[in-house]
Structure 1
């Protein structure tokens, strides 16, 4: 409900409601028009509220899905790599790192579609940059994005994070 107030929905719809009352009180519209206007305003308000709730539900689903995919195995691998940044990645570890890049790219794609709030994206981006500071992860990312096709395959994530590397 707080987001609705922040976004100005209540002010907007309240102004429409007040304007319809004023128009009715100075006899510009009749009772039937007032009732129709108030019902229309209420319908629009509840439609906007429903849309906001549906967006929140979608965000929650995305958030849970992304966090589930960034599981303890992925996190444990990054923690181990931080401890020994000189050892090469095993093939199975490289696959985990590539899956991580795909996860990050998907998060970025949803961010560009406006489905991930800015503060959440900023936190996720900070985590991505932190993980890309691990030598093996950074090298894998640079290998994956060494061609134009490789850069493009991550939905613009390359351009978003390369400035921090």
Structure 2
């Protein structure tokens, strides 16, 4: 996903969600995102949240890079790719990205990378903590994640899929 700063410089965004809880785990904002950066982000997420069973992504070069293939083999996470030109195979992230674009990217004028990151963090906080989802029986993603932790489904994301895209 991409956008631009007010001065015209292009920025790239990589979104990562948990498909079970719908929780947005991270949105990376930078001028470029390569395979090495993807592995650094995902390693931090694994350390903070536990290892998912599967990661599902599009076929962007940052996700098909040798760095990503090595990392997923090393940490023993099944990495699956959607078929090229079939974004509906990754409907959860596509829906999330549509909301994110409509409600955050299209509604803000970003002055700098730092400004963009601050605005995106606030949007993610609102999305995760204050917005009920009909698919979650009216719970927020954070409420469902907390409930699962209390019910001893730890590590929380072991049986779920992380979904990422940076188109």
Please give the range of the TM-score, normalised by the shorter of the 2 chains. under 0.3
Larger helix proportion, structure 1 or 2? 1
TM-score (norm 2): 0.24
The structure with more radius of gyration: 1
Higher relative contact order (CA 8 A, sep 6+): 2
Structure showing the higher strand proportion among its residues? 2
Q: TM-score, normalised by structure 1?
A: 0.24
